[in-house]
């Protein structure tokens, strides 16, 4: 298994982030929009790097934010060729950890109910469904799909040395 490291996105990584988004979601996210999302209050992004430092490449990313005591995973993606190797799990664990350390009480996310792989990842990590937005996503085939709202309860004692 090659090494995996999750690190905060720097300005030098923005083109890679745009590329990873397109390779994860099969649709583009324009660089200016991505840049302004990450620059919005409380927001940040990480990239999962595979391989040795000299030859590493980006495998996936997270965009998240913490606002008013609540954390939110805005986007999580792993390039198609990199899936089922633990990258999504590592990115999610790292994001929950960073959000917990920033002091949030809970982490929320939205996921299409037609995305069982992602739902399995989130449930397995401890997220639970707390709501549903009916017909929230419009898929390319014209179908409307509901979004599940999932919540991870942060137990402060898990993230404190006291």
Ligand X SMILES: CC(C)(COP(=O)(O)OP(=O)(O)OC[C@H]1O[C@@H](n2cnc3c(N)ncnc32)[C@H](O)[C@@H]1OP(=O)(O)O)[C@@H](O)C(=O)NCCC(=O)NCCS
Q: How many Cβ atoms from other residues are within 10 Å of residue 111's Cβ? A: 21
Residues in the chain: 162
| 10 within 8 A of 47, measured Cβ to Cβ | no
Among 111, 148, 150, 154, binds ligand X (CB under 6 A): 111
d(CA 160, CA 155): 9
d(CA 140, CA 125): 29
Both tokens of 71, joined, read: 């954390």
Among 67, 120, 130, 138, binds ligand X (CB under 6 A): 120
Minimum gap (Å) between residue 91 Cβ and ligand X = 7
Among 86, 108, 113, 129, binds ligand X (CB under 6 A): 86
d(CA 51, CA 101): 27
| 47 within 8 A of 7, measured Cβ to Cβ | yes
Cβ distance to ligand X smaller for residue 14 or 149: 149
The answer to whether residue 146 forms part of the interface with ligand X (CB under 6 A) is: no
Cβ distance to ligand X smaller for residue 103 or 124: 124
Query: Per-residue x/- marks for ligand X, 32-71, CB under 6 A?
Result: ----------------------------------------
Number of residues that bind ligand X (CB under 6 A): 20
Contact set with ligand X (CB under 6 A): 24-25, 76-78, 83-89, 111, 115-118, 120-121, 124
């Amino acid at each position: 298994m090659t090494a995996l490291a999750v690190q905060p996105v720097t300005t030098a990584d923005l083109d890679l982030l745009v590329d990873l988004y397109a390779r994860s979601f099969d649709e583009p996210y324009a660089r200016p929009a991505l840049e302004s999302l990450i620059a919005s209050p409380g927001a940040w992004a990480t990239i999962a790097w595979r391989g040795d430092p000299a030859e590493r490449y980006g495998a996936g990313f997270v965009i998240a934010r913490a606002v008013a005591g609540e954390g939110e995973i805005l986007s999580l993606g792993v390039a198609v060729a990199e899936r089922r190797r633990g990258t999504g799990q590592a990115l999610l664990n790292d994001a929950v950890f960073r959000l917990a350390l920033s002091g949030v009480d809970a982490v929320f996310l939205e996921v299409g109910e037609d995305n069982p792989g992602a739902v399995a990842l989130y449930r397995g990590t401890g997220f639970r469904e707390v709501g549903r937005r009916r017909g929230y996503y419009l898929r390319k085939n014209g179908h409307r799909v509901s979004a599940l709202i999932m919540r991870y309860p942060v137990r402060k004692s898990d993230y404190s040395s006291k």
